[in-house]
């Protein structure tokens, strides 16, 4: 009996894959060992929304690298198509794509749950964010007709790294939260003694909602 295919979930280790890319064969997640990395799928090469996304990702690539984060794209296209599309972007938009793109025949896309039948046979705009231990920290799906906001992915990486370093939680729209601006949230107290001390130690709306400067 075939092993049941299970889509990876938040908290899982990213599955081991050998992939063909525009930079040659790579083994994932081994190729990004010790780094954060974002794997994102796009419906197809030579399409307008995808072109705007690749342009946006590349413009922010130096900012991702400063956060110890790598990018890798994917679509169900041949590597020759990826290379030609990269050439078109360089020749027509004056921007060189510096991160690899996976060429897939559908096997990887199906394994990662990137093809949603009600949205056609192409991959949806999925995003997987992995930490340096290759643990999946976030998964996002967008329909084919809606381009992504790459600044949100930068914000997420910064938030994850801040949360890990300081043991805090990140509020909505951080660092521009409507209540506490660029501050971060202290995890809730786990006992009555700690709860009683909270308002003396931090700025609080109540003992369960305390915050501090990042």
Catalytic positions, please? 50
- Is residue 200 helix, strand or coil? helix
Question: According to DSSP H, which parts of 60-113 are helical?
Answer: 61-66, 79-93, 107-112
Cβ-Cβ contacts under 8 Å for 35 (sequence gap 6 or more): 68, 69, 70, 132
Neighbours of 202 (CB within 10 A): 16
The string of DSSP letters for 29-45 reads TGGGTTSEEEEEE-S-S
Give, as one character, the DSSP assignment of residue 83. H
What distances in angstroms separate CA 197 from CA 81, 162, 169, 189, one per listed residue? 61, 24, 19, 9
Whole-number Å distance between alpha carbons of 125 and 52 = 13
* 209 CB burial (10 A radius; 0-12, 13-18, 19+): middle
Closest by alpha carbon to 96, among 60, 45, 55, 48? 55
Whole-number Å distance between alpha carbons of 12 and 16 = 12
């Amino acid at each position: 009996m075939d092993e049941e295919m299970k889509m990876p979930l938040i908290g899982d280790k990213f599955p081991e894959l050998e992939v063909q890319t525009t930079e040659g064969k790579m083994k994932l997640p081994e190729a990004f060992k010790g780094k954060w990395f974002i794997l994102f799928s796009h419906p197809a090469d030579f399409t307008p929304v995808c072109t705007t996304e690749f342009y946006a990702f590349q413009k922010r690539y130096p900012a991702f690298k400063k956060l110890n984060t790598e990018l890798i794209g994917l679509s169900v296209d041949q590597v020759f198509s990826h290379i030609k599309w990269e050439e078109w972007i360089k020749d027509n938009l004056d921007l060189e794509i510096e991160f690899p793109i996976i060429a897939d025949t559908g096997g990887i896309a199906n394994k990662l749950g990137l093809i949603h039948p009600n949205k056609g046979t192409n991959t949806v705009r999925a995003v997987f964010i992995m930490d340096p231990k290759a643990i999946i920290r976030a998964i996002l799906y967008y329909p084919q007709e809606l381009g992504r906001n790459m600044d949100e992915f930068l914000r997420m990486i910064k938030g994850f790294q801040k949360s890990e370093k300081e043991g805090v939680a990140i509020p909505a729209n951080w660092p521009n939260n409507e209540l506490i601006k660029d501050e971060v949230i202290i995890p809730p107290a786990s006992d009555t003694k700690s709860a009683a001390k909270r308002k003396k130690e931090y700025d609080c709306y109540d003992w369960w909602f305390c915050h501090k400067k990042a």
